[in-house]
Amino acid sequence: MYIPTIGLEIHSTLKTRTKMFCSCPNNFEEYNPNKNVCPICLGHPGVLPVINKEAVEAVIKLGMALGGKIAEKSYFDRKSYFYPDLPKGYQISQYEHPIVDGGILNGVRIKRIHLEEDAGRLLHELPGGAKKSESATFVDFNRAGTPLMELVTEPEIKNVEGAVRFAKDLQLVLRYLRISDVNMEKGQMRVEANISVRKDSKDELGTKIEVKNINSFKAVYGAIAYELKRQEETLKEGKKLVQETRGWNDVDQATESQRSKESAHDYRYFPEPDLPMMDFTKWDLEKIRNEIPELPEAKRHRLMQEFGFSKDQVDVLVEDRKMAEFFKEAASELKILELSADYQLLLNYFLSDFKGLMNNKAIGIEEVRISPEHFAHLVFFIQKGDLSSRLAKDLLQKMFETGEDPEALMKQGDIKVIDNENELESVVTEIINQNPKPVEDYKKGKANSLQFLIGRAIGQTKGRASPEKLKEIFIKKLS
Is the domain of 327 the same as that of 436?
Answer: no
What is the largest distance, in Å, between two alpha-carbon atoms of the chain? 95
CA-to-CA separations, 407 to 86, 95, 270, in angstroms, rounded: 60, 61, 68
Is the domain of 243 the same as that of 327?
Answer: no
Are 200 and 186 in contact by the 8 Å Cβ rule? The answer is no
Q: How many domains does one find in the chain?
A: 3
Residue 202: per-residue pLDDT: 75
Is the domain of 156 the same as that of 262?
Answer: yes
Burial 197-214 (b: 16+ CB within 10 A, else e): bbeeeeeeebbebbbbeb
Residue 394: per-residue pLDDT: 87
Name the domain boundary from 273, 289, 305: 289
DSSP structure string for 410-452: HHHTT------HHHHHHHHHHHHHH-HHHHHHHHTT-THHHHH
Is the domain of 65 the same as that of 208?
Answer: yes
Per-residue pLDDT of the chain (479 residues), as tens digits, is 889 999 999 999 999 999 999 999 999 889 899 999 999 999 999 999 999 999 999 999 999 999 999 999 999 999 998 888 999 999 999 999 999 999 999 999 999 999 999 999 988 776 655 555 566 788 999 999 999 999 999 999 999 999 999 999 999 999 999 999 999 999 999 999 999 999 877 778 899 999 997 999 999 999 999 999 999 999 999 999 999 999 999 999 999 998 776 665 678 999 999 999 999 999 999 999 999 999 999 999 999 999 999 999 999 999 999 999 999 999 999 999 987 899 999 999 999 999 999 999 999 999 999 999 999 999 999 998 888 888 888 899 999 999 999 989 888 876 776 666 776 777 778 888 888 888 888 787 787 888 888 788 777 777 677 677 778 788 887 87
Name the domain boundary from 289, 305, 322: 289
Is the domain of 230 the same as that of 378?
Answer: no
Residue 126: per-residue pLDDT: 65
Is the domain of 175 the same as that of 262?
Answer: yes
Are 132 and 108 in contact by the 8 Å Cβ rule? The answer is no
Name the domain boundary from 250, 268, 289: 289
The whole-model pTM stands at 0.83
Is the domain of 168 the same as that of 251?
Answer: yes
On the CB side of 7, CA atoms within 13 Å amount to: 18
Is the domain of 406 the same as that of 433?
Answer: no
Are 264 and 95 in contact by the 8 Å Cβ rule? The answer is yes
The per-type count for the chain, helices as H runs and strands as E runs, is 16, 17
CA angle 93/97/102 to nearest 5° reads: 105
Which residue in 376, 461, 475, 400 sits closest to 427, CA to CA?
461
**Residues pairing with 474 in the sheet:** none
SS3 state at 345: helix
CATH number at residue 461: 1.10.10.410
Is the domain of 132 the same as that of 38?
Answer: yes
Expressed as residue numbers, the domain containing 332 is: 296-412
Is the domain of 61 the same as that of 168?
Answer: yes
Are 21 and 92 in contact by the 8 Å Cβ rule? The answer is yes
Is the domain of 236 the same as that of 111?
Answer: yes
Which residue in 149, 148, 147, 167 sits closest to 157, CA to CA?
167
Q: List, in order, residues 6 or more apart from 180 with CB less than 8 Å away.
A: 12, 13, 14, 15, 58, 149, 174, 188, 189
Which residue in 42, 5, 1, 35 sits closest to 21, CA to CA?
42
Residue 430: per-residue pLDDT: 80
Is the domain of 187 the same as that of 205?
Answer: yes
Q: List, in order, residues 6 or more apart from 309 with CB less than 8 Å away.
A: 303, 317, 343, 344, 347
Listed in order, strand segments (DSSP E) in 276-340 are 278-279
